[in-house]
C-alpha cells in the first residue's frame, strides 16, 4: 500500500529509530511491501521506515539504469535492516541530494566517498558490502533518517541549496530518497 511520506518539520522525522528484533514476521513483510510501493510511486531512490511514520531501523534503496538519466550510477535493490556503517577511507565527496521528505528541493551534501556497511535482510540474514560513489551516498542518506537526521542538516554550502527547477533548469536532477 502506498503510504504518506512525512515532510520535514514533522517531529517523527527527528527521532532515533529502534532496531528490528524479530525477522520474517508478517508485520515486517508488510512494512517492506508498503515501503517499496511508496518509493516506486514517488520514483524514489531510497526510503527509510521513519519517513512513513514507522520508527524502526529499516531502509530500502535501489537505482536502475534509465535512458532518461544517462550516467546515473546503478544501485542494487536492497532491503537493509539494523544497518552499521563506517567510512572505508578519509575521503569526503560532495554531491547533490534530494529527499522524499523535502520534496522539490536539492542540496549539495558532503558524504564519505567509500563506506563499508553491514546489516540484515528481511529474513534476518546478515550481509555486508564495501561501496563508493552514489551507492555510498544513498546508504548514508538513508541511515541518517534512522538517526533523525535530514540532509539539509549536513549542508555546508547553502548557496547550493534550492528548488530543483531553479537549480537544474531542465537537466535531469538527482532522484529523491
**Single residue of 49, 99, 115, 131 touching Ni ion by CB under 5 A:** 99
Among 73, 91, 94, 142, the one annotated catalytic: 142
142 is catalytic: yes
45 binds Ni ion (CB under 5 A): no
Q: Does 105 bind Ni ion (CB under 5 A)?
A: no
Under the criterion CB under 5 A, does residue 63 sit at the interface with Ni ion? no
Pick 3 or 23: Cβ nearer Ni ion: 3
Q: How many residues bind Ni ion (CB under 5 A)?
A: 2
DSSP conformation letters of the chain: ---PPP-TT-GGGGSPPBPP---S-HHHHHHHHHHHHHHHHTT-SEEEGGGGT--BSEEEEEE---TTSTTPPPEEEEEEEEEEEEESSS-EEEEEEEETTEEEEEEEEEEESEEEEEEE-TT--EEEEEEEHHHHHHHHHHHHHHTT--GGGG-S-GGGEEEHHHHHTTSPPPPB-
Q: Which stretch binds Ni ion (CB under 5 A): 15-23, 70-78, 94-102, 115-123?
A: 94-102
Q: How far apart are CA 107 and CA 93, in angstroms?
A: 13
- Only segment of 2-10, 69-77, 93-101, 115-123 that touches Ni ion (CB under 5 A): 93-101
Query: Binding of Ni ion at residue 138 (CB under 5 A)?
Result: no
Query: Least distance (Å) from Ni ion to the CB of residue 124?
Result: 25
Q: How far is the CB of 67 from Ni ion (least distance, A)?
A: 25
> Is residue 31 involved in binding Ni ion (CB under 5 A)?
no
Enzyme catalytic residues: 142
Residues lying near Ni ion in the complex (CB under 5 A) are found at 99, 177
Amino acid at each position: 500500500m502506498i503510504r504518506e511520506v512525512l515532510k520535514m518539520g514533522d517531529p517523527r522525522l527527528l527521532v532515533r529509530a529502534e532496531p528490528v528484533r524479530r525477522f520474517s514476521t508478517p508485520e515486517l513483510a508488510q512494512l517492506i511491501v508498503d515501503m517499496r510501493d511508496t518509493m516506486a510511486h514517488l520514483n524514489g531512490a531510497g526510503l527509510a521506515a521513519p519517513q512513513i511514520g514507522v520508527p524502526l531501523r529499516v531502509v530500502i534503496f535501489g537505482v536502475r539504469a534509465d535512458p532518461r538519466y544517462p550516467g546515473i550510477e546503478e544501485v542494487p535493490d536492497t532491503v537493509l535492516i539494523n544497518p552499521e556503517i563506517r567510512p572505508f577511507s578519509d575521503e569526503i565527496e560532495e554531491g547533490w541530494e534530494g529527499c522524499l521528505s523535502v520534496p522539490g528541493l536539492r542540496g549539495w551534501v558532503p558524504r564519505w566517498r567509500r563506506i563499508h556497511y553491514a546489516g540484515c535482510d528481511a529474513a534476518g540474514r546478515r550481509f555486508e558490502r564495501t561501496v563508493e560513489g552514489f551507492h555510498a551516498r544513498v546508504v548514508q542518506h538513508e541511515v541518517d533518517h534512522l538517526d533523525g537526521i535530514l540532509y539539509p542538516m549536513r549542508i555546508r554550502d547553502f548557496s547550493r541549496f534550492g528548488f530543483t527547477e531553479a537549480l537544474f533548469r531542465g537537466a535531469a536532477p538527482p532522484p529523491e530518497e
